[in-house]
Homo-oligomer: A and B are copies of this chain.
Amino acid sequence: MTRRAIVHRVAMAGPDDVAGIEALLKNGQVNASEIVAILGKTEGNGCVNDFSRGFAVQSLRTLLGAYLSPTQLDAVPMVMSGGTEGGLSPHWIVLAARADARMDPPVTPALALASAVTRKLSASEIGRPAQADLVRGAVLQAMQNAGIRDLTDVHYVQVKCPLLTASRAAEVRGDVATPDMLKSMGLSRAASALGVALALGEIDAIPPDAIGRDRALWSGRASCSAGIELMTCEVVVMGLSPDWTGDLRIDHAVMHDAIDSAAPVGLLARIAPGAPLQGAAGQIRAVLAKAEASSGGSIRGLRHTMLEDSDISPTRHARGFVGGMLAGLIGLTDLFVSGGAEHQGPDGGGPIAIIYTTKEHS
């Protein structure tokens, strides 16, 4: 049966403010059982001690727990990305799918989305090739679940993956990629991103010691975040499929550095051809982007100070800066700009995907 994607961008007055989602559920715009995943851009520091993420998830689970069975609830990936630096605005993105009784085949492929989950990883697998292989499989499974037939029709893959803690490392007698919790987050994101790249044919194989190191390897469509609350990898794939109908679409581009406005400008021009700057804002349902400080300490030959600032972490700097660029181009501030872009776009750059409606006045 044909499906139709539903995407809502919902303002958040704080990490525990789920009133906007509750309203969607109450007025029937979304049924809880239709929800495929929920992303959240919360206002913490996006680093180790960012409790805005856990607070948001706990609040979401309390809300949805009134509508869903525990098993159903556990099946909904909830991916919180901390950090709304600069003028970025905290918000939820509710991603849902509804069966559509319409018999007519859709004219053009529409936004398709589905999730898949890997088996539980052992602590020894985190940040290593085994994780990439598992993610690769889950991406292909999610593609199949979504009815996306061609690798080029995938425009965005969100992965939520586990990290290492001291007790998890102890369970495998220290046979881990790193003993450092913060580093394990980076390596887990890195392995996940390379898993996406493998699945999408962006790379052929992962050379030894490449995970987290070889910045020449990257996916232009992966966005990965690590969380302490799971030992599986949850994967949400978004793309285009002729099995789906409705007016929503998705497209993406790759920023090659932190000031690469040409990439989003080109993407916006495909969404709303001929529109002026910020002219596509009304059509946009969600903006999903990655940002990071370039490892070499410079942008187009000019020094940046993100890596030497001991007061503000580089991820906070990068989100605010790239967020400012995107907000100026797009005309919106509720953008899902996420940090920690290991193998997610080139060094210092990152992917950007936009979900939009084809209806001009919406």
Contacts and interface: CB of A to CB of B under 8 A. Distances in A.
A328 B308 CA distance: 22
Please provide the 8 A-B residue pairs with the shortest distance between their CB atoms, ordered closest to farther: A86-B321, A324-B324, A47-B310, A325-B328, A321-B324, A261-B328, A89-B302, A320-B320
A49 B324 contact: no
Contacts of A45: 310-311
Interface of A: 11, 13-16, 43-45, 47-52, 54-55, 58-59, 62, 84-90, 166, 181, 258-262, 265, 277-278, 293, 297-300, 302-306, 308-313, 316-318, 320-329, 331-334
Task: Name the prevailing secondary structure of the A interface residues.
Answer: loop
Nearest to A55: B55
A328 B14 CA distance: 30
B259 A84 contact: no
Nearest to A294: B87
Contact of A328 (B52, B278, B304, B328): B328
Given A261-B277, A299-B333, A16 B54 contact: yes
A62 B51 CA distance: 17
B49 A55 contact: no
B49 A51 contact: no
B332 A302 contact: yes
B303 A89 contact: yes
Contact of A62 (B62, B84, B313): B62
29 contacts: A11-B303, A15-B51, A16-B58, A48-B309, A49-B308, A51-B52, A58-B58, A85-B320, A86-B258, A86-B306, A86-B317, A86-B320, A87-B259, A88-B304, A89-B299, A89-B304, A90-B303, A181-B308, A261-B277, A261-B328, A299-B333, A302-B333, A304-B333, A312-B316, A321-B324, A324-B324, A324-B325, A326-B328, A328-B328
Given A13-B303, A90-B303, A49 B321 contact: no
Given A259-B331, A277-B262, A321-B324, A305 B51 contact: no
